[in-house]
Amino acid sequence: MKYWDERVETMGRAELEAIQLERLRATAARALLTPFYRPLLEKAGVTGPESIRTLADISKLPFTSKDDLRRAYPFGLLASPRSDLVRLHASSGTTGTPTVIYQTRGDLERWTDYMARSLTAAGATSEDVFQNMMTYGLFTGGLGLHQGAERVGMMVIPAGPGNVGRQLKFMKDFGTTAVHATPSFMLHFHSKMAEEGYSRSDLVLKRAFCGAEPYSEDTRAKIEGLLGIDVYNSYGLSEMNGPGLAFECVHKCGMHVWEDGFLLEVIDPDTGLPVPDGEKGELVFTILCREAMPLLRYRTHDISSVIPGKCACGRTHRRIARITGRTDDMLIVNGVNVFPSQIEEVLMRMPEVGTNWLIVVSKDGALDRLTVKTEVQPSMFTDDSRPLNALKDRVKEKLQACISIGARVELHEPGSLPVSEGKAKRVVDERPKF
Amino acid sequence: MVLNQISVFLENKAGRLADATAAIAGAGVNVRAISIADTADFGILRVIVDDPVKALDALARSGFTTRTADVLSLEIADRPGALAEVLAAFKETGVNIEYLYASLEKNADKAVVIFKVEDVRRGLEIARQRGLTQAGSF
């Protein structure tokens, strides 16, 4: 099967844009139902669907930032009665308040459908046995692909991440043909294969869907070569439901954004004005397929560009190039988004550690390693290593609770790290650049 | 006797121990006993010196974080079982030892051992009662 929804995936641009306009108007109307957007929209002169006459009128609508989601926490962006909600997902915010996304049953249906469309575009069928090696839980990556793969009719093994030995056993015993993982986990997985006593001939693996972290075309080629599989890129963010926003088709030449459900703008991050197709800018999305929580012109901070021209697959939905960077200081560590401000907040709440700290992200084999270095207060030093070790464990626990991934913690002598005044460099990213 | 021990917080960084000993040497202070406790990313250097005040001042000027503690120094005969006897005496009388290390004293038939005990006065009292020779002043 080549398409999941051939009519929509291949429709002419005029028809697609007509659908977008209709849905944008409906979305603006739903946004007016939320305590967060109502005053903003009224101030902008948007009083109902009739205020949006053409797609260009989107410029009347305000941008939405991650901070806005925090300000509206927990229910300020809700456009549906709470009793209609069936799901909540969350991603870590830039500080302690998470950003939360709600779904009604209809929202979940539509998300699942976009996911099924994505997997089908990448060549998956109901014949596939799909092992999902991505994190489940509040993170949208695990459940998103899980739901979509079930809808396509694959047998889904909800393995979750880690434990390469068990992953390999399942793959061999159940004939796994497709997997979902971060690119760094795919490389880590391959590096452990021989050690776990498996060879490529034990597996019938055909394809991998990779997302959640940026990586290079060279790395894709490396994974494909090492494992003898096809690797397809996935792009999503929880604010736009998660995965199922943009996905590669079998031609692997950029990710098709499902434009009937998500209105894409690429802007100059400084001026907020659109840049032409082919030029790099910040991706901005308006979700057109969610009733519970409308989000208008959400600033992703991801840098990419629209790939001009038609794709050989026949789909008319535009493609975006792989993400090349961020306009903010967000770090992606083994697929998990981490803001330096989250780490700072944890450290500043602990009087035993000093005001100077440094985040180092490096590679440990194929995986990323996050190290948090912090000075200890001189008063913590007592000729006894036990209180220092206990402090270290406490910092680790607090960080884990806040950023949901394990960090190595190093305690340093007072005065040994760069001082906090001025523009001290707080993050050192030692990973290779793309 | 009871001596004043200096502890120095050392992070695991190449040359940090050399820096600390250089600071002490720079002040013309002699190190009489030395020990290092280490964990994965930091260590604690413990020293007995002939002039603690000068050493502390020199270490502080070089940016080191220090603490001082009272420790017991005892002369232990250089024969099998001598240390065991001292430890047995402490055990019987409930003197808890946190750590101990040997000094650099040049004495052919005696070893000077530095004891960090929970209660240094009580430790000293037991050592006196049992007739353990106390190391002379460094």
- Contacts across the A-B interface (CB distance below 8 Å): 43
What is the pTM assigned to this prediction? Answer: 0.78
Cα–Cα nearest to A135, from A370, A408, A338, A405: A405
Contact by Cβ (8 Å): A91, A98: yes
CA distance B118 to chain A (A): 12
Query: Each residue of A326-371: pLDDT tens digit?
Result: 888 889 998 888 988 888 888 888 888 877 889 999 998 889 999 9
Q: Is the peptide bond before A274 cis (omega within 30 degrees of 0)?
A: no
B101 and chain A in contact, CB less than 8 A = no
Which residues in chain A have Cβ-Cβ distances shorter than 8 Å to B10?
413
Contact by Cβ (8 Å): A54, A28: no
Q: Which residues contact A399 (CB under 8 A, 6 or more apart)?
A: A343, A346, A372, A407, A409
pLDDT value at residue A43: 96
pLDDT value at residue B57: 95
- What is the Cα A394 distance to its own chain's centre? 29
Q: Which CATH number fits domain B70-134: 3.30.70.260, 2.60.120.510, 2.60.40.420, 3.40.50.720?
A: 3.30.70.260
Q: For chain A, how are helix, strand and coil distributed in percent, rounded to 5?
A: 35, 25, 40
Residue A396 pLDDT more than 70?
yes
What single-letter amino acid sits at A274? P
Query: What's the angle, vertex CA A139, arms to CA A134 and CA A140, rounded to 5?
Result: 80
pLDDT value at residue A214: 80
Q: How far apart are the first and last CA of chain A?
A: 34
C-beta atoms surrounding B137 within 10 Å:
8
Q: For chain B, give every domain's residue range.
A: 2-68, 70-134
| Whether B65 and A381 lie within 8 Å, measured CB to CB | yes
Residue A400 pLDDT more than 70?
yes
| Chain A residue at shortest CA distance from B70 | A383
Which value does ipTM take for this structure? 0.78
Which CATH number is B2-68 given? 3.30.2130.10
Torsion sign (Cα): B72, B76, B82, B83:
positive
Cα–Cα nearest to A303, from A261, A259, A264, A268: A268
pLDDT value at residue A335: 86
Which residues in chain A have Cβ-Cβ distances shorter than 8 Å to B13?
416
pLDDT value at residue B13: 79
B10 and chain A in contact, CB less than 8 A = yes
Query: Each residue of B117-135: pLDDT tens digit?
Result: 999 999 999 888 887 766 5
| β A255-257/A242-248 pair status | antiparallel
pLDDT value at residue B135: 57
B98 and chain A in contact, CB less than 8 A = yes
Least-confidence region, from A23-32, A307-316, A388-397, B36-45: B36-45
Average pLDDT over residues A144-150: 98
| Whether B11 and A411 lie within 8 Å, measured CB to CB | yes
| Chain B residue at shortest CA distance from A388 | B42
pLDDT value at residue A313: 96
Q: State whether residue B53 is helix, strand or coil.
A: helix
- Please tell me the distance from the alpha carbon of residue A247 to that of residue A232, in angstroms, as a whole number: 8
Distances (CA, A) of A145 to A163, A204, A244, B39: 20, 20, 8, 43
pLDDT value at residue B75: 87
Which residues in chain B have Cβ-Cβ distances shorter than 8 Å to A395?
none
Neighbouring-strand partners of residue B37: B44
Average pLDDT over residues A97-111: 95
Q: Which residues contact A65 (CB under 8 A, 6 or more apart)?
A: A298, A299
Average pLDDT over residues A10-20: 98
Contact by Cβ (8 Å): A50, A68: no
| Chain A residue at shortest CA distance from B6 | A383
Query: Each residue of A225-249: pLDDT tens digit?
Result: 999 999 999 999 999 999 999 999 9
Average pLDDT over residues A82-95: 86
Q: Which residues contact A370 (CB under 8 A, 6 or more apart)?
A: A331, A333, A338, A359, A360, A361, A405, A406, A407, A408
- Please tell me the distance from the alpha carbon of residue A311 to that of residue A398, in angstroms, as a whole number: 47
Best to test chain B binding among A356, A383, A413 (most B CBs inside 10 Å): A383
**Which of 360-379 (A) contact B at CB < 8 A?**
376, 378
Query: Each residue of A38-55: pLDDT tens digit?
Result: 999 999 999 999 999 999
Average pLDDT over residues A192-220: 92
Residue B108's pLDDT band, with cuts at 50, 70 and 90, is: low
